[in-house]
Amino acid sequence: MASLSSLPGNRFNAGLGSPVAAASAFSAALSSAPLGAAPVASAPLAASVTDALGRVPIVRLNRLHPSCNQHDLYLKLESCNPGGSIKEKNAAYLVHQAEQSGQLRPGGTIVESSSGNFGIGLAIVGATRGYRVLIVIDAKTSPTIRRMLQAYGAELVEVPLEAADAHGSMQVARMQRAQELERTLPGAWYPAQHTNPQNVEAHSLWTAQEIAAAFPTGPDAIVVGVSTAGQLTGISRYFKQHSPKTRIIGVDVAGSAILGTPRHAYKMTGLGLSFIPPNYDPQVLDAAYSVSDALAFSVCHALAQREGMLLGASTGAIVAAALADVQRFTQPQTYLLLNPDRGDRYLETVYDADWLKQHHLTILQDQDLVQAINHLQPVPLDLVRRAAQ
């Protein structure tokens, strides 16, 4: 298994140190200067855009909820990766592994089913490596995501609405289309993020060690979206071995199949599946939360207006779950929350008043939002584990 240091032109080979250490040194230099002063240090140089991955800030929440006064809740802003999401990491890692194994050769084609971020990550890596990139999308894919994919040179293959399952999901239909394209296109390679075990390796080798570098004794808890389970399983694998005290909290959107809660349609992208992903192991979870669209999107608005961070839809769910969970403790806790992506790709949905009204979603504010977070309860772990059997 190749480590990150073996990636071509990787910053670890260049002697630039870990991304968290570099970011911490830069942050320390900035924090010692008066507000508004010119930076006193420069960011480390990167040989390519993929070498800049992972160099993201970790920012404390201060004004979102009364619990922020007692507990330290930090957001790891993976939205600050070059393309705006954490999925660029596993895109870069999986492409590298495919090149090393011979599955992907010069002049080849990358094919993937994606609702957005992973497709964008592959399009970025494909642009830097000279590959053709085909992304299978569906009607739920927003105009912004479509334009971003095309801007990076990706070609779009759309699955028709009638391919949706009984709950309105088109994930299985998209994956089947991607498999068909891999079979029929010469030189095509399908990473299959939903089933590929190397998706997990990317985050145990990369993201988990960035967190460990920032929290040498380990945070009390890490809160992460379940999604395809690459981040969840990779991070938990590392921390269960190196910091057993660190609790792992998984978050999904209400309506998804993963946690065993009732199935129904949802508007969230970035969380939620119509099936149990093969990389998912419920045994790693110390707590699990199912968060509604309305609560997640409300937290997104509050993050922008009270913390100055315009972040993606799934981050709202992750932050809501963390704030609900931390109230179980009377002693001060330190939580690390994983922010998967930026909010700019949701301006036509989550942050659009007309879209919210069209879908009968009300944004909670002030005390109504605090109360909704306080009333959020974890999903019983026995239910979570039965659902995965």
Provide the residue-wise pLDDT of the chain in tens; the chain has 389 residues.
333 333 333 433 333 233 344 444 434 443 444 444 445 556 778 999 999 998 899 999 999 999 999 999 999 999 999 999 999 999 999 999 999 999 999 999 999 998 789 999 999 999 999 999 999 998 878 889 999 999 999 999 998 877 777 777 777 888 889 899 999 999 999 999 888 889 899 999 989 999 999 999 999 999 999 988 999 999 999 999 999 999 999 999 999 999 999 999 999 988 998 889 889 999 999 999 999 999 999 999 999 999 999 999 999 999 999 999 999 999 999 999 999 999 999 999 999 999 999 999 999 999 999 999 999 999 999 999 999 88
pLDDT at position 352? 96
Task: Name the strand (E) or helix (H) holding 301.
Answer: helix 293-307
215 and 341, same domain (yes or no): yes
74 and 143, same domain (yes or no): no
128 and 71, same domain (yes or no): no
Query: Which residues are part of the catalytic machinery?
Result: 87, 314
Q: How many CA atoms lie within 13 A of 287 on its CB side?
A: 20
62 and 95, same domain (yes or no): no
222 and 347, same domain (yes or no): yes
Whether 42 maps to a domain, the answer reads no
Q: How far apart are CA 98 and CA 88, in angstroms?
A: 15
Q: At 49, is the secondary structure helix, strand, or coil?
A: helix
What CATH number corresponds to the domain at position 109?
Answer: 3.40.50.1100
352 and 379, same domain (yes or no): yes
Strand partners, 155: 134
pLDDT at position 224? 98
pLDDT at position 228? 87
Residue 274 makes CB contacts below 8 A (sequence gap 6+) with 165, 167, 169, 171, 172, 256, 257
148 and 231, same domain (yes or no): no
Strand partners, 75: 59, 337
Whether 207 maps to a domain, the answer reads yes
Take residue 110 and report the two structure tokens written for it: 């990358």
pLDDT at position 16? 28
104 and 247, same domain (yes or no): no
pLDDT at position 168? 73
- Domains of the chain: total: 2
Whether 75 maps to a domain, the answer reads yes
Q: Which range marks the domain in which residue 294 is found?
A: 52-81+197-387
